[in-house]
Structures are given as structure tokens and as C-alpha cells.
Chains A and B, each alone.
Chain A
Amino acid sequence: MAVDYRLGNYVRLWGLRLRLVESLSWGPWGAAAGLGAGLLLAIGARITPLLTARWLAGLAALLSLVGVTVGLAAVWLRPRPLHRLARTFDRRFRLAERLTTAIEIGAGQLRTTPAMTAAQLADTLDTATGVDAGVMLPLRASRRALLALGVLATALALSLWLPNPQEDVLSQRAVVRAAIEEQIEELEAAREEVIKAEGLTEAEREMLLQVLEEAMAALDKGRATPQEAMAALSEAERALAELQDPGAATVQAGLERAAKGMADSELIHDIAEALAQGDYSAAAEALAAYAGTEGEPLTREEELELARELAEAAEALAESDPDLAEQLAQAAEAIERGDIAQAREEIREAAQRMAASGQRVQRQEAVEGALAQLQEGREEIAQAGGASPPTGQSPGRGGAGEQTAQGEGQQGGQPGSGQQTQPGHHEDAGTGAPYDEVYVPYRFEEEGAGVEVGREGGEGVPSGDAPLPAPEGGRAAVPYRQVYADYAAQAGAALESSYIPLGLKQYVRDYFSSLEP
């Protein structure tokens, strides 16, 4: 037994119309749901920095579209068997379960006499014929859905239109992010330069690369805050500071002075030019050429001029590079004596020494280049993050000419002079006894208001320490801005990376805000 085809046709046609009617209801409701979600996001974006108004508008539109799609999919993809449709239309058209009964009888689920079956079917068809589906299932959108849609759209538009203080935070974050990304690119360029740099041993190159790569990785991980980014760059700066060669700047200055002295000489003009250009290997090769036997031999006058120039160069390098100066002086003396063989030997050794000094200078330049890059990046990120840049924290800030050679037991670092001292192994100036520094304020700088801290226990010399250059008025001074920035950055990093109860984080931020210079 099968369902009567006329009855089946009625039910299927009504089913199609029902889907159309439901589409006009579910579609707007789906859109309303999407707009509702968008509105919630917009409200959330006013509480916490989530998205900009433009993004929110786009997202709300997308969510509405998804809502409409889901609504229509639910209407058109949901299977609707005949008996379920019959049940639906019995209810909607008030057919008093005629359809359901007829469908069940047709499907063989119900049994009765043929006469009753025929009477029931005829009655159902007669009733179905009288149904005006156009009136009972009008094709019009749900008013409540449209109303909800209108209210939500208005609320969303208002929420997007009214000024949102969180947008400033987002803009600042975007600037910070852009600055961080720019710094990642700059660090990548610095890395390339380190790879190409001459005068670095493999171990030094590896270490430099590692420091730069770690800094890049720290900046690149997710959404680093300005504090985290600056902390990562500071950490990298500290690591690079340990690779600095404080004496290299002195050597470079001596070589430059020597170049200036040799610049007027016709005979060794090529050496002077190479040194002036910083091409130390070329200068060393040019010097080594005088130790060779190839080419036209020098006249005695030329030899004497060479000896003079070498002696002047030795004088210029006497303080910065005593070994090279000694070699050049001995070469000059040998030429003057007429001991050409000895002179050649001394010139050859001086050339090797010059090449080594050149490498030392180039290595220092590579480290300083990387340090400068990190420093610049830190300042840019600080500026982008709206915080006071922790100026003067860079170990390389003071410049090569101002740095002291710690390894040689010299104590530099006049407070406020921009000079730096390095932590590490030291010898007492008076007794020569070795000692380890427990604190070295190497971040001094001239900027900022100074804070004077009185010594505890009155005047005196710290035990086990070398006497510092006498501070004015017997007081040590640390720029407040520098100390504040350092501590604020540390606190910021701790707030981001350590477990601190949410309710207490604001106290820490407020505290440092109140101390801001």
C-alpha cells in the first residue's frame, strides 16, 4: 500500500512553500544572531582592546552572512519525511490529524477496513483541497525577526560610531607591532652583516648570530608587549656588551692618526689611503710590499723617507698599539742603519701586526653596529609604546673613544661623563689584589635629573674596592630617569611573564605611573 499520490503532491508542495516561508524567517533570525554576536564583540571591544571599529563592522557583516547561511541551510538541508510534514500541516492548517492518519494508512502503519480507508482518504483530500496555502503560509518575513534585526543593527552602528577609548590602545599596539616588525627586519639586516663581517672568529660570529637570532625570536613570538620587546633587546645588548673590545677604539684612533701622518707622503700614500678608508688588510698588504724583493728597489733617499714615515707612524701608534709601534720603530731604525734585510723582516712583522689590529677594529665595528641597531630598536619600540625610552642603557653608548680598558685594571666611569665600566675581574689599584665587582653602575649618562644618594657610614673607601675618582661632595649620582626606566621595564616584563594576581597588577602599574619622571 502506498500513500495516495494526490495527497503526496499536496504535502510536498506545501513542504516547498513551508521552506520558503521559513527562509523568510530563519534568514533574518540568522542575520540577527550574527549581528548580536557582532554587537557583543563591539561591546567587548569597549571593555578591552579587541578590534578596531572597521574590523568590528566587517566581522559583524561576516557573522550576519554566516548566520543567514546557517539559517537557510537549516531550512533547506534538513530532511523532512512525509509523515513529519503531514504532522506539521495538520497542526498549521488545523486538519485535525487527517493528513497524518491518511499518510500512516497509506504507508501501511495503520490498518482499518477498506471502506473506512476510502472514507478517510476522501475526507482528507476534500479538506486538503479547501486549504488555501497562500493564506495559511504567507510569504512574508517574520516581523519579530526584522524588528530584532533593526534593533541590533542600530545598536551595533551606535556602538561602532561612538568614540571608543580602546581604539587608541589598539592604534598604539599597531604602532608597537609595526616598530617591532621593523626592528626584526633591521636585526635580520644586522645578522646578514655579521655573517659577512671580516675579522671575526667563528666562535665570535656564532655568538653574535646567536644573540641576534634570540633577540629576533623574542620579538617575533606572538604579540610581544613593548616591555617584553625592550627587555629582549636589553638582554641582547648585555650579551653583546660582553663581546666588546674596549681597546679596539683606541687602536682605531691610533691607526687613523697614523694615516693622517702618512697622508702627505708620496711614497706611502697608498698605505695612508687604505688606513683612512678603514681597509686595514689593504694597508697591511701595502706595507708588506715594502718587505718584498720584487719590483724596483728604493733609492737611499726613498729609504730614508720611508724610515721617517714609519717612525712617525710608530709615534702615532705608541699609545694605542705599542706592539705595532715598536715593530714600525724597529723597521725605521733598521732602514736608517741600512740593514735592509732586518728592515724587511721588521716591516713584514709590522704588516702582520697591522692586519691583526685591523681585524680587531673590524670586529669591534661589527659588535658596535649590532649594538647600535639594538639600541635604536629599543628606543623606537619605547617611543612607539608611549613609554619613556630608557636612554643611556646601551653598553656601547659611550663610544669607543670614551671607554676604559677594564681588563687592564683601569677604573674609568666618571659619574655622568658617559663613560662605562664593565663587570668582571679586576685588580686593586693599590695592592694589585684581584677582586670581583659586586656592582658597577655602567649605565650612567648625562641626561636626566640626578638623584644624589648619601653614602652609608659616612666617608670612606669601600673595602676590597679601588678608590673611585672622587665624586663631587662625596656623593654618588644616578640619573633618576635612567633608574626609573630600568625598574619600570623590569616590572613590566615581570607583569607580563610572571604569575601576579590580576587584581594586583594594576597596583604595580599605578605605583610606577606615580613614580614616572
Chain B
Amino acid sequence: MSEISPEQFREIAARIEAEVGKYIVGQREVIRHTLICLVVGGHALLEGVPGLGKTMLVRTLAKVLDLKFARIQFTPDLMPADIVGTDILEEAEDGRREFRFQPGPVFANLLLADEINRATPKTQSALLEAMQERTVTVANRSYPLEPPFLVLATQNPIEMEGTYPLPEAQLDRFLFKVNVEYPSSQELVEILNRTTGDVEPEVSVVADGAIVRRMGALARQVPVASPVADYASRLVVATHPESDTAPEMVRKYVRYGSSPRGAQALILGGKVRALLDGRYNVAFEDLRAVAPAALRHRLLLNFEGQAEGTSTDDVVMEVLKEVAEP
């Protein structure tokens, strides 16, 4: 596999963003964070009210990257086999019968797990195993998933009745949690123009799975200076209420801080952001830019925090404000 240069990386990324931008109006941060997850092989949890283009984003991304796309609408009656696949009994022409593995929708490069919190924990865990191990085990047989494998799960922050919120351990497996904000008035006008006419935008394929893997390999080569790594560590440590460096808000409202995966997400996200920004090293600013997406779903608020209406985003912003660069 031949390597790509940082310039090629930036160019491909820019083209991906541009192509996706043909369908998705605004949401530049969402697109960029999703792209970061895709490049470094992490999964993203998109949270936003219905109709903001989450599904369209993933679908467009799949088109642009010429990746195999699958979508699962999570419902309470969804079974694990509906995701990972199952062995089915088949009769051959000679009359013999045998089990054959019928792959589920998880065998895709881009998997949209729509409204993941509507499925039962058992079903959720089936997907989460695939996300972590990148293999699927059915009837004692393991089936590897073809890289790149990116799960883009969505959650609806409203209509929480009858949902099964993801446990913290499972949330931790998402590299980023991306909040999909409601578009501005101008963006909404643009959305209306694009979606109510008779011309559908055409997107072209910019890259494929192999290129995405090479982009990921290049991103991991980006050096991180010791003060920057130290800053990432400080940020994560400061989210723990028992830490000496924790801000007052963390001590007051946070029950559990981020796991080490949070620091990994900061660095990996920072690396890709640096390359996208035309740099070959991670800066403090990169960490600050990805910190909300990397940490917000890794903090668990206590009762007081929830009662006060504090969001984990508020806590992350407070941590960024209080923790000084080394």
C-alpha cells in the first residue's frame, strides 16, 4: 500500500468535505468530526433532533468514498441477528442441507445505526461488540469486518420514552459524540432551495476505502510534542472530580470523569485536524477544537449536575477554561 503525502491528504479531505457539502448545508463541524472519525477508524455518535440530515450525511459520505453503506433503524424489537446476521439452512441442488452464514447489515464500511437508543441493551451490545472488536461471532465462528468500518449512530435527545440509553462503557467506545445543531435561518433557506426543486445534486467519488485507510495511517504519523500530549493528559485528568486540578464545576457536578480513551480521542482527533489545517504537528488549538466531541459523552454528571441542568458541554468548556497549557 503506497503512502499518501500530507498534501494529498489535505486535498482529498477538502474534496470529501466539498462533495458532502453539496448535500449537507452548513454543519461543517459535524462533517469534519465525522471525517476525522472515519480517517482514524473511530465511531461517531450523532445526536440531534430528527430532520437535521444525519442520515443524509452518512449516505452522502458513503457515496463520496465509494464505500458500502448500510442502515439499521433501531427499534425495541430489533434482534442481534438482525444486525450481525445469522446461519440459515440452505438446501443444495443435490438435496443436501447445510447452514450458511447470512451476513447482517453490520458487514458494511459505513453503518448508520439510526436511533440506537431505541433497541434493547442486548441488541445494542451486539453492535457494540462489532464496533470494538471489528469482528462478528455467530455460532462460534468469527467473521472479520472489512476495513474501513465506521459506525455512525444517531440519538434523538427528545422522545426519551421507551428508550434504552447507552451505558457509559458503551458510550466510551465512540470516538466522538457530535451534536447536530439546528441550522441557521440562512442555512434553512439554502436547504429549502436544494431539496424542494427538481434538480438533485450529483456527488462524485473522491476516494475509496483503501485511500481512507492510508489517510488514517498518515494521520497517526503526525508528531505530538510533549507539552501538547501533557495538555491532553491534563484535560482528561481535570475531568475527574477527585483530581487536584479539577475545576470547581467538575468537583460539584461530575460523578465520573473521562477514561483514557478520551485522551486518545483528543490526540487522534488533533492529529487529523492538524493535517486538515495544513500542519504536520498537533497544536493545543487542535485539542481544544476536538475536546467537546471527544469528552462530552465520557463524563457522567451526578444528580446535582443533572438537577441544575448542567450539560457535559458546559463542564468541558469549564475544563478548557481552567486548565492551563503547560
Q: Which residues of A contact B (CB under 8 A)?
A: 87, 91, 96-98, 100-102, 104-105, 109-113, 115-117, 119-120, 123
Contact = CB atoms under 8 A, between A and B. Distances in A.
A110 B282 CA distance: 12
Contacts of A105: 223
Contacts of B218: 116
Contact of B283 (A87, A97, A116, A120): A97
Interface in B203-260: 218, 221-228
Most chain A beta carbons < 10 A, residue from B6, B218, B221: B221
Interface in B250-302: 278-285
Given A97-B228, A101-B224, 11 more contacts: A98-B283, A100-B227, A101-B223, A101-B225, A101-B281, A104-B226, A105-B223, A110-B223, A116-B6, A116-B280, A119-B280
B227 A87 contact: yes
B3 interface: yes
A123 B282 contact: no
A104 B230 CA distance: 14
Tell me what chain A mostly uses at the interface: helix, strand, loop, or mixed. helix
B184 interface: no
B279 A123 contact: yes
B323 to A, nearest CB: 16
A112 B6 CA distance: 14
Contact of B280 (A91, A104, A123): A123
A112 B227 CA distance: 17
Interface of B: 3, 5-6, 218, 221-228, 278-285, 325
B227 A97 contact: yes
11 contacts: A96-B281, A96-B284, A97-B227, A97-B284, A101-B281, A104-B223, A110-B224, A112-B221, A116-B222, A116-B280, A117-B223
A173 to B, nearest CB: 53
Nearest to A95: B283
Nearest to B286: A96
A428 B281 CA distance: 114
Contacts of A110: 223-226
Nearest to B228: A97
Contacts of A97: 225, 227-228, 281-284
Most chain A beta carbons < 10 A, residue from B225, B278, B280, B281: B281
A441 B284 CA distance: 92
A117 B227 CA distance: 18
B45 to A, nearest CB: 29
Contact of B285 (A96, A102, A115, A119): A96
A87 B228 CA distance: 11
Given A100-B227, A104-B226, A119 B284 contact: no
B282 to A, nearest CB: 7
Contacts, number: 62
A100 B225 contact: yes
A357 to B, nearest CB: 95
Contacts of A104: 223, 225-226
What 4 A-B pairs are tightest by C-beta distance, nearest first? A101-B281, A96-B283, A120-B280, A101-B225
Contacts of A116: 6, 218, 221-223, 280
Contacts of A111: 223
B266 to A, nearest CB: 14
Nearest to A87: B227
A115 B225 contact: no
Most chain A beta carbons < 10 A, residue from B225, B282, B284, B285: B225
B5 A115 contact: yes
A105 B281 CA distance: 11
Contacts of B228: 97, 100-101
Most chain B beta carbons < 10 A, residue from A101, A110, A112: A101
A120 B285 contact: no
Contacts of A98: 279, 281, 283
A499 B225 CA distance: 66
A112 B225 contact: no
Contacts of A119: 5-6, 280
B289 to A, nearest CB: 12
A113 B221 contact: yes
A116 B225 CA distance: 14
A358 to B, nearest CB: 93
Most chain A beta carbons < 10 A, residue from B221, B223, B325: B223
Nearest to B283: A96
A91 B6 CA distance: 24
Contacts of B279: 96, 98, 123
Contacts of B278: 123
A286 to B, nearest CB: 103
A113 B219 CA distance: 11
A110 B227 CA distance: 12
A119 B221 CA distance: 11
Nearest to A112: B223
Contacts of B225: 97, 100-101, 104, 110
Contacts of B5: 115, 119
Contacts of B282: 97, 101
Nearest to A96: B283
Contacts of B281: 96-98, 101-102, 120
A72 B226 CA distance: 31
B283 A115 contact: no
Nearest to B231: A97
A111 B278 CA distance: 20
Nearest to A101: B281
A102 B224 CA distance: 10
A115 B223 contact: no
Contacts of A115: 3, 5, 221
Nearest to A98: B281
B221 A109 contact: no
A104 B278 CA distance: 20
Contacts of A113: 221
Most chain A beta carbons < 10 A, residue from B279, B282, B285: B279
Nearest to A116: B221
Most chain B beta carbons < 10 A, residue from A97, A111, A116: A97
Contact of B223 (A87, A91, A96, A120): A120
Nearest to A102: B281
Contacts of B3: 115
A34 B254 CA distance: 47
A292 B224 CA distance: 122
A91 B279 CA distance: 16
A123 B279 CA distance: 7
